[in-house]
Structures are given as structure tokens and as C-alpha cells.
Amino acid sequence: MKQIQGGVCAAQGFKANGIHCGIRKNKAKKDLALITSDCLAATAGVYTKNLVYGAPINVTKANIADGYAQAIICNSGNANTCNANGIEIAQETCALLEAHTGIKKTDVVVASTGVIGQQMTIEPFANGMAELTSGLGDKSEDAALAIMTTDTVKKEIAFEFTLGGKVCKIGGIAKGSGMIHPNMATMLVFVTTDAAISPSMLQKALSNDIKDTFNMVSVDGDTSTNDMVIVLANGLAQNPVIESEGEDFDEFCKALYAVNSYLCRMIAKDGEGATKLITCNVFGASDKATAKTVAKSVICSSLLKAAMFGADANWGRVLCAIGYSGAELDVTK
């Protein structure tokens, strides 16, 4: 496996774009992103566990219930959460995309991020859709910039790997800076790959992966309302379709982990007010569950974060966090 350029456009058959359509007041900020596949793609998703969540999540869940999608559209600046017409706007956005591209509105992942509770209209989407769709190309960076809110840097990565003798590519973009806490999901992440894998195995790979990636990130302890991680796999690499566990599935999972773990670190490093990236490594635990319990307790400690911020590495705060983690351990060691 090797790192390559291209982000969500690295894999065959994927295009992207990002523009300013008028949702955000600052015209220098892009606020509408689009990712498309040349063909229908197996699709998997995981979502926030917050009971207050954005209308786009409802629409997306319905659209990918059959395990397939062909496009992802996402706006920033307005979360489309707690809006009376939120569902309608999300659905109308999908319909606008169908009118401009021919991609079925029911094959669209729709997402929003930004301020909660602001009124929203369809006009910016309608006004910008022609520019957004006509400008599709190798523009992963533009899409990555368009989904940012309080982020200070774009988050983008891609890798090349091999499945069944075929070269495959996988790439992702993410946004996340504030409202970040390990309770899937607390960010927006969009991953594309040309690997051939069934929807059920793709969902299994993603659901397992987030336990060791996005569910292990914490910035401020708040779980947001609009968060999702979506993976599209269009199969254009023409590897033997992964339909069960085995060597190829394991290799795919390694590639997915490479993308997601990289984006995790970028999100944590770019946390609101953060000046340092803290990574907790646990050794000597009786099992993985115990190690994860300890690690979460340490990285979520506000006192430890304060010590790191102040460059006063008080290791007693590490011990304190381990002690109240709930893990069984021998404190005399």
C-alpha cells in the first residue's frame, strides 16, 4: 500500500467539485460540494447517535437503503437541523442534482454541516447547481474545502493497494474541528474507492473500522447532530468482487483503516483551540477492550488536555484517568 494524490478523485470513475453558492455570507468560502461516480456504487454509512440530528440523515438513510448510491452532495454553513422544511430541502437538493446530471435522486447521499437551527431555503442550491455540476472534474481539494466549517485546514488523503491482482485506489475527505467526541460519528467523512465489494461487506468493513478510528477520537466531548461517514465503492478496478471474509476483505479493511486513521489524526490535530495532537498508546492490557477503555479515558480527560496545552506534562493526570476508566487493572504496578 502506498500513499498517492487525488483524494476522493484518486479512484477510477469519481469526479468532484466545490463552489460558493450563497449559503455562507463570505463569498471567499466554498459552501457546496459534490462527488459523483460514473456508475452506481455499493454504499455504506454510519451516522451520529445524537437523538437530535439533521434532516439530510433521514433522506440519506432512505436513499441508500438498497445499498447503492452514485453521488454525494454536501453543503456547509447551515446544518439543516431543527428546520420545519429540512426534509423537503434535502429531497429537493437531490431532485435538483437529478435534473442536472441524470443521477437518480434516490441514488444521492445528501449532507449538511454548519449552524444548527437557522432557516434554510432551496434557492442557493438551485442557483449554484449548474456551476457545481458543469465544473465536475479532478477537484477533490475543492470538495474538501467546500465542506469545511470551523476547520483551519482541508483534510484529504488517498492510497493505492492491490486486490486479486488488480490495482485499487481509495481516498477520502473529511471535515471536523469542533463538536468532536467518540460516539459515531462526530464529523463528515466521504470515502471513495474503485474496489469491487458487495454492499453488505462494505458496511461490515466500515462498521468494524469506526470502532478503532472515529470512535476513538475526542476533542471537546460533544457529539454533533449531522455527522456521517459514507463509503462509495464503484468496482471499476475490476477485482473479484468481495462477497465474504477472506484475504481480499482483510486487505480492503487495511486500506480503509489507512484512510480513516489518517483523517482521524487530522481532525484531532485541527480541533478548535488545539495546539497539539495527543495520541494514546496502550501496552500490556489483558485484551483490546480494556486497552480501548483506558485509551478513551485518557484522551477524554480535560485535565490531561490542559496539562498538554500548558506544556506541563503531569503524568499523575494520566494515572488519574486510567484509575477512573472502569478498566480492571493492578494500580500497584
Residue 243 has pLDDT above 80, yes or no: yes
End-to-end CA distance of the chain, in Å?
A: 39
| CA 31/CA 24 separation, integer angstroms | 6
pLDDT band at 180 (very low <50, low <70, confident <90, very high): confident
8 A C-beta contact, residue 242 and residue 163: yes
Residue 151 has pLDDT above 80, yes or no: yes
Whole-number pLDDT of residue 154: 95
8 A C-beta contact, residue 175 and residue 212: no
When pLDDT is averaged across residues 106-121 and rounded to a whole number, the result is: 92
Under DSSP, is residue 30 helix (H, G, I), strand (E, B) or coil? Answer: coil
Question: One-letter amino acid identity for 127?
Answer: N
203 phi-psi bin (left φ>0, alpha ψ -120 to 50, beta other): alpha
pLDDT band at 144 (very low <50, low <70, confident <90, very high): very high
Residue 326 CB burial class (10 angstroms; 0-12, 13-18, ≥19) = exposed
Please state, rounded to an integer, the average pLDDT across all residues of the chain. Answer: 93
Which tens digits make up the pLDDT trace of 211-236? 999 989 888 877 777 789 999 999 99
Which tens digits make up the pLDDT trace of 28-55? 999 999 999 999 999 999 998 888 788 8
Whole-number pLDDT of residue 230: 97
Q: Tell me the pTM.
A: 0.93
What is the distance, to the nearest Å, from the Cα of residue 21 to the centroid of all Cα atoms in its chain? 22
- Taking alpha carbons only, the member of 160, 159, 189, 157 closest to residue 175 is 189
Residues known to be catalytic:
186
Quickly list DSSP for 48-65: ---SS--HHHHHHHHHTT
pLDDT band at 102 (very low <50, low <70, confident <90, very high): very high
Which tens digits make up the pLDDT trace of 186-210? 589 999 999 999 999 999 999 999 9
Residue 183 has pLDDT above 80, yes or no: no
- Domains along the chain? 2-269 (3.60.70.12), 278-333 (3.10.20.340)
